[in-house]
Amino acid sequence: MDGVLLIDKPAGMSSHDVVAAVRRALGGLKTGHAGTLDPFATGLLVVLLGRATKSQRAFMALPKRYETVAQLGALSSTGDPEGEITVTGRVPERPPVLPVGEIRQRPPRHSAVKVGGQRAYRRARRGEDFELPERTVTIHSFRELWRNEGPGGQPPRAAYEIECSSGTYVRSLIADLGDGYCLELRRTAIGDFRVEEASALPPRGRAWEDPPVIGLARALERAGGTSPQ
């Protein structure tokens, strides 16, 4: 079985967890994925099957689209709800200045980027002192969808839609607006693949008899890549 499965990742699972669940449901078939989603995030995960794993780079390079709900006026040590929260009351201006085009961005310390052969989030959890290098990413579009007051008179929340290049960290984009962090994050597209096409994972322990696989040739056509040798 060679091709891709589009999975709508639930919150609370890592991308590795999803890949492992698909592998079990398909009887140990070789699997991989084309772009990590944080455990708190939901949405589209492209799972690669069989020979499609050899074309991971083509799928990884595709642009991404996200929708995020941000808590403004507060900071998180991880950029998401799982970190240590500090309420500051400082809120980005409105209309917000939203970056578009090529920008320099530093990945979050709590990310899957490797530093010295280890995942940054593991070193951060151990309290190690390190700094991640900046990278150049491209923001194709960045727009505010809504903003309203938080519950109980708390600082406001805002929703944004972001289209960006591979390697962009939405948590860093929100943190760089001023004081804010991601409450919710959902990936809605990877290149031509849409979350509306995605399937839920089968129940744990149940074999996936007829998974909705997109064949390798068709998947690569949609990704603009070439077939592995």
Residue type, 107: P
Q: How close are the terminal C-alpha atoms of the chain, in Å?
A: 16
Residue type, 98: L
Closest CA to 133 of 150, 147, 114: 114
How many C-beta atoms lie closer than 10 Å to residue 51's C-beta? 15
If DSSP states are collapsed to H, E and C, what string results for the chain?
CCEEEEEEECCCCCHHHHHHHHHHHCCCCCEEECCCCCCCCEEEEEEEEHHHHHHHHHHHCCCEEEEEEEEECEEECCCCCCCCEEECCCCCCCCCCCCCEEEEECCCCCCCCEECCEEHHHHHHCCCCCCCCCEEEEEEEEEEEEEECCHHHCCCEEEEEEEECCCCCHHHHHHHCCCEEEEEEEEEEECCEEHHHCECCCCCCCCCCCCCCEEHHHHHHHHCCCCCC
Active site annotation includes 38: yes
- Active-site entry in 2, 8, 38, 80: 38
Which residues are the active-site residues? 38
